[in-house]
């Protein structure tokens, strides 16, 4: 992971720059948040604490879909529409990591070239770093930085595979699933779990000969949604069709998101969901802190037990229990 040397920027300068919307300072602050250096982590925690009262005033969108569905193209088209409404847009695009270096491919700035150049938009590709769910470990804190910098809409694009959808669902207000039509087995190809997580569905690439299959898929999805239990949010997910090429359906997507925000704020679900997400983030932080503590205090023990697990002398569960026992002995 690249580590930015912030020797010439103190917390006060970071705070002032972010609150004034300085993108260069914001980018450097995000690099500080992502740093693995202990000194940088302490500085990042202090910065977040100072900025926390200025956060929470955005709508946080999670967008997912299988590879090839057109996530980046859709996000750019939606982002450009929102900037035309004078909305400030931040896109946190989590790119697949290099297996060898854990670095990011960083392709989203090239895929969203027009949006990246817009003065009201900010795009930050970020490496998954091998973290659970394919989401960079600092994404939650980066959201807070962007909110403090005055962004109205924050979009998190998932890598579209496995656990990443669950992780992004747990840090966003509205979760949008992008889907393709035309194969005839659309409903068979999506698990019930991901459909239950989604607050809205958008069928992409609906142009030319794909219009009729898309309308059939739209009706099928809408019918399937009525089979699910009512959501505690009081919101009924909608299924829309779009074409990033013709811009068709993009305003309707934004209208759907605004309706969701209005409905869930009226029921109290919007604020309650954010509170629960903060609690989840707290527990996630505790888990990470404990893991780091154990790793730091028991490096030799971990190495020895790994060898015993590899050689089948110990089961993974027993080896893990021995680590906990050792930590307890150290504290007593």
Which three-class secondary structure state does DSSP give residue 236?
Answer: coil
Confidence of residue 133 (pLDDT cuts 50, 70, 90): very low
In a domain, 271, yes or no: no
The reply to whether 246 falls in a domain is yes
Same domain for 42 and 89, yes or no, is: no
98 burial via Cβ count (<10 Å: 0-12, 13-18, 19+): middle
Average pLDDT along the chain? 85
DSSP state of 229: P
pLDDT of residue 189: 52
Query: How confident is the model at residue 14, as a pLDDT?
Result: 96
Average pLDDT over residues 67-95: 92
Q: Which residues contact 269 (CB under 8 A, 6 or more apart)?
A: 232, 233, 234, 235
Chain position carrying tokens 């997580």: 197
Answer whether 163's CB lies under 8 Å from 200's CB: no
Give the rounded percent of residues in the chain with a pLDDT score beyond 90: 52
More confident residue, 222 or 292: 222
Using 50, 70 and 90 to split pLDDT, how confident is the model at 155? very high
CB 142 within 8 A of CB 30: yes
**Domain range for 310:** 280-331
Contacts of 332 (CB under 8 A, 6+ apart): none
Q: According to the model, what pLDDT value does residue 287 have? A: 82
User: Hey, what are 199's tokens?
Assistant: 């607050």
Measured between alpha carbons, how far is 55 from 150 in angstroms, rounded to an integer? 9
- Structure tokens that stand for 83 in this block: 């900037």
Q: Is residue 26 scored above 90 in pLDDT?
A: yes
Q: Is the pLDDT assigned to residue 111 strictly greater than 80?
A: no
Whether residues 161 and 105 fall in one domain: yes
Q: Are residues 43 and 81 both part of a single domain?
A: no
- Same domain? For 31 and 147 the reply is no
* pLDDT-derived band at 12, boundaries 50, 70, 90: very high
> Has residue 233 got a pLDDT over 90?
no
Do the beta carbons of residue 174 and residue 200 sit within 8 Å?
yes
Whole-angstrom Cα distance, residue 233 to residue 215? 27
- Residue 100 above 70 pLDDT? no
| Least confidently predicted of 129-143, 154-168, 291-305 | 129-143
Residues 228/196, Cβ–Cβ less than 8 Å = yes
Residue 249 resides in a domain: yes
Name the 3-class secondary structure at 157.
strand
pLDDT tens for each residue of 260-283 = 999 999 999 999 999 999 998 888
pLDDT confidence of residue 31: 92
According to DSSP, residue 107 is labeled -
| Integer Cα distance of 35 and 14 in angstroms | 15
Instruction: Output the pLDDT for position 75.
Output: 95
Cβ contact 205:243 at 8 Å: yes
Over range 86-114, report the average pLDDT.
67
Q: Is the pLDDT of residue 324 over 80?
A: yes
**At residue 319, does pLDDT exceed 60?**
yes
In a domain, 302, yes or no: yes
Q: Is residue 272 part of a domain?
A: no
Query: What pLDDT does residue 7 have?
Result: 52
Closest CA to 70 of 161, 203, 193: 203
Distance of CA 202 to the CA centre of its chain: 18
What is the reported pTM?
Answer: 0.85
> Is 125 found in the same domain as 60?
yes
Tokens for 48, please give them: 């977040």
Q: What is the pLDDT of residue 180?
A: 87
49 and 186 share a domain? no
Q: Is the pLDDT score of 309 beyond 50?
A: yes
**Are 47 and 65 in a shared domain?**
no
What total of structural domains would you count in the chain? 3
Residues 6+ apart with CB under 8 A from 149: 18, 19, 21, 22, 23, 26, 90, 122
* CA dihedral of residues 166, 167, 172, 175 (deg, nearest 10): -30
**Backbone φ and ψ of 154, nearest 5°:** -120, 120
Is position 240 within any domain?
yes
Name which of 39-43, 59-63, 204-208, 328-332 the model is least confident about: 328-332
Higher per-residue confidence, 143 vs 323: 143
Residue 188, domain CATH? 3.40.50.300
């Amino acid at each position: 992971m690249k580590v930015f040397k912030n020797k010439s920027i103190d917390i006060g300068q970071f705070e002032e720059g972010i609150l004034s919307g300085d993108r260069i300072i914001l980018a450097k602050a995000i690099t500080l948040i992502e740093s693995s250096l202990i000194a940088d982590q302490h500085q990042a925690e202090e910065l977040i604490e100072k900025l926390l009262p200025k956060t929470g005033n955005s709508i946080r969108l999670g967008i997912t879909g299988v590879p090839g569905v057109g996530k980046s193209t859709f996000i750019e088209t939606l982002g450009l529409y929102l900037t035309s409404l004078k909305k400030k847009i931040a896109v946190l695009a989590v790119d697949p990591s290099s297996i060898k270096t854990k670095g990011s491919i960083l392709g989203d700035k090239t895929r969203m070239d027009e949006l990246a150049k817009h003065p009201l938009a900010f795009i930050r590709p970020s490496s998954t770093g091998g973290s659970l769910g394919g989401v960079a470990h600092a994404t939650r804190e980066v959201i807070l930085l962007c909110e403090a910098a005055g962004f109205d809409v924050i979009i998190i694009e998932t890598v579209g595979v496995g656990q990443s959808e669950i992780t992004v669902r747990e840090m966003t207000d509205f979760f949008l699933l992008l889907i393709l039509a035309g194969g005839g087995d659309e409903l068979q190809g999506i698990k019930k779990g991901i459909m239950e997580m989604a607050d809205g569905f958008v069928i992409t690439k609906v142009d030319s000969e794909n219009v009729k299959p898309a309308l059939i898929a739209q009706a099928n999805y809408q019918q399937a949604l009525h089979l699910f239990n009512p959501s505690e949010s009081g919101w009924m997910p909608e299924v829309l069709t779009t074409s990033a090429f013709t811009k068709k359906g993009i305003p309707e997507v934004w209208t759907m998101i605004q309706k969701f925000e209005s409905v869930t704020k009226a029921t109290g679900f919007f604020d309650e969901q954010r509170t629960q997400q903060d609690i989840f983030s707290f527990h996630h932080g505790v888990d990470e802190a404990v893991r780091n503590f154990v790793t730091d205090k028991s490096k030799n023990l971990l190495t020895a037990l790994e060898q015993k697990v590899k050689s089948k002398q110990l089961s993974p569960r027993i080896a893990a229990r021995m680590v906990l026992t050792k930590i307890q002995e150290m504290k007593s």
